[in-house]
Structure 1
């Protein structure tokens, strides 16, 4: 995998992925950022949440479970002093489907957390990561 980052101005940067997608990332206002995009640490949370969500949906679909939606709320705590690393990250999954079995969702979340989600497993080396879920009948 590769990525490139180019300084735009102020504290804004354009990140370009190896697959050709780009995102503007901006620093916080106290460092000169102008709210032109997410902060770098916010992108880490989006990455871990999305990585896990992809796993959960894929596992459920592969098992032919009737999943119709998946949302993940990610909340994190950081150290107060530099380096302000994450100390705790919690992922809450809301998975919807008609007749979707709670045990299937629990298994998918567990497999993502313990085996498949590279982002979660990597960040788990530095922060405590917890997960929970709910099943929404549609």
Structure 2
């Protein structure tokens, strides 16, 4: 896996990531740090990546279990250290999974498997951050 990050130049703190899979993502800094608030911050992208990684796992696990999953969202709320490096110290993952007659045990198992076995991003973040989970199931 690879990615290349290019700085947008001396007029700000805009960075463009070009991934090995051929995609592009843009990140920017806060105005107080020289950015122009044109795109997500790099740490927001890191948090978003962890959320997408675990949501991906949950959907895949439920589909493989032949459950009628129709939606999955996860809201991540994180705290960061006060001093540099300002790593994540706490992250709460609030899952909302929508489907027809989804067994709570299956959804909770999928979330647990993602965090304990499959999601590389949350596994890395677990080295600095206490992680908590909650699950809401919505009938479709």
| Same fold, TM-score > 0.5, yes or no | yes
Corresponding position of 1:97: 99
CA-based RMSD:
0.7
Map 1:1-138 → 2, pairs under 5 A: 1-9=1-9, 10-138=12-140
Supply the distance in 2 between the matched residues of 1:91 and 1:66 (Cα, whole angstroms): 22
| 1:17-42, Cα deviation, whole Å (9 max, x unpaired) | 11011011101111111011100100
Query: Normalising by the residue count of structure 2, what TM-score does the alignment of the two structures yield?
Result: 0.96
Moved over 2 A (4+): none
Supply the distance in 2 between the matched residues of 1:135 and 1:31 (Cα, whole angstroms): 40
Q: In structure 1, the residue corresponding to 2:16 is in which secondary structure?
A: strand
Supply the distance in 2 between the matched residues of 1:16 and 1:87 (Cα, whole angstroms): 28
Runs of 5+ unmatched residues, structure 1: none
Supply the distance in 2 between the matched residues of 1:6 and 1:45 (Cα, whole angstroms): 21
Supply the distance in 1 between the matched residues of 2:85 and 2:115 (Cα, whole angstroms): 25
Q: Judge which range, 105-114 or 27-36, deviates more.
A: 27-36
| 1:40-86, Cα deviation, whole Å (9 max, x unpaired) | 10001100000000000000000000100001000000111211111
